[in-house]
Amino acid sequence: MKVLYGAILGDIVGSRFEFSKPQGFDWRTEELFGGMSTYTDDTVLTLATKYAVLQKIPYAKAYGLFGRKYSKVGYGNMFLNWLAAHSERGYGSYGNGSAMRVSFIGQHFNTLEEVEREAEESSLCTHNHPEGVKAAKATAAAIFLARTGASKKELAAYLHKTYGYTVHKPLALYRPFGKFDVTAMGTMPLAIRCFLESESWESCIRNVLSVTCDTDTVGCIAGGIADAFYGGTGLPEDALLRRFLIKPNEQGVFDTFLYDWAKKEG
């Protein structure tokens, strides 16, 4: 279950650096959580996936429920149109949204085959382009392998052989040419590399911050893998989840729904 925490906290850390970084920014020492930090669509749909699995309902229904309940958290236009239409069919997306929401699948199911099958199903209702499906399956598989004792070398070899991702390009070659890229093809090799060059969950997230990219989503994907591999984030997780997931709703009442589902056993 704690893999969810690494994905959620990776999203929250990345949220305030997605479009700009403060003057004098140093990814090695920058405070991870600041006043502008917040959860985004990555967290909402990560928890929607958990909800779908534990409630035994279709992924599309859970994404619609959570997406309409939390409608102003940074969804892409195609997903917003999907929500508005109450659709449950894919719209050909090869964006990175299918990959950022599958951490619970990698944690919950008992075999690699189950994990990859469920990840594909979770993707097809929105991101049914082959690249979207591939990214979801690869992320969930990486989390499963990380939590079941695979080495970094074994994990990298599997992702390269099975999914064709370039995993050996060092971050030193990403940094000078980094750009905002929400495609699955642009996101996955970078997220994997941020994990492979890490020594802890925090160092993985700092690797994400070192490259100009879609920081919240890369942080969510890489953070989930790192949490599974290192056995936690090393942070005061419950305090951080309470701080960022419990917020007043439009009626001014504190909404604990996301926090409750983040903490729910399953």
| Residue 217, amino acid | T
Query: How many other CB atoms are found less than 10 A from the CB of residue 30?
Result: 16
Smallest Cα–Cα separation from 5: which of 85, 107, 80? 107
User: If you average pLDDT over residues 150-168, what whole number do you get?
Assistant: 97
Answer yes or no: pTM beyond 0.95. Answer: yes
pLDDT of residue 19: 83
Which residue, chain included where needed, has tokens 């928890």?
47
Alpha helix stretches (DSSP H) within the chain: 3-15, 41-55, 59-69, 77-84, 103-108, 112-124, 130-147, 152-163, 171-174, 184-196, 201-209, 215-230, 237-245, 257-263
pLDDT-derived band of residue 20, with 50, 70 and 90 as boundaries? confident
Q: Where are the domains of the chain?
A: 3-17+39-263
- Residue 2's pLDDT is 59
How far, in Å, CA of 214 to CA of 228, rounded?
Answer: 22
Collect all residues with Cβ–Cβ distance below 8 Å to 76 and sequence separation of at least 6: 93, 95, 97, 182
pLDDT at 37 over 90: yes
Look-up of token digits 């999907």: 82
What pLDDT, in 10s, does the model give residues 162-176? 999 999 999 999 999
How wide is the angle at C-alpha 184 spanned by C-alphas 181 and 186, nearest 5°?
Answer: 45
In the predicted structure, residue 35 carries a pLDDT above the cut 90: no
Average pLDDT, the chain: 96
End-to-end, the C-alpha distance of the chain in Å comes to 7
pLDDT digits (tens, 9 = 90+) for 57-78: 999 999 999 999 999 999 999 9
pLDDT in tens, 70-125: 999 999 999 999 999 999 999 999 999 999 999 999 999 999 999 999 999 999 99
**For residue 51, what are the β-bridge partners?**
none
What is the phi/psi pair of residue 14, to 5°? Answer: -70, -20
Does domain 3-17+39-263 fall under CATH 3.30.450.20? My reply is: no
User: Residue 222: is its pLDDT beyond 70?
Assistant: yes
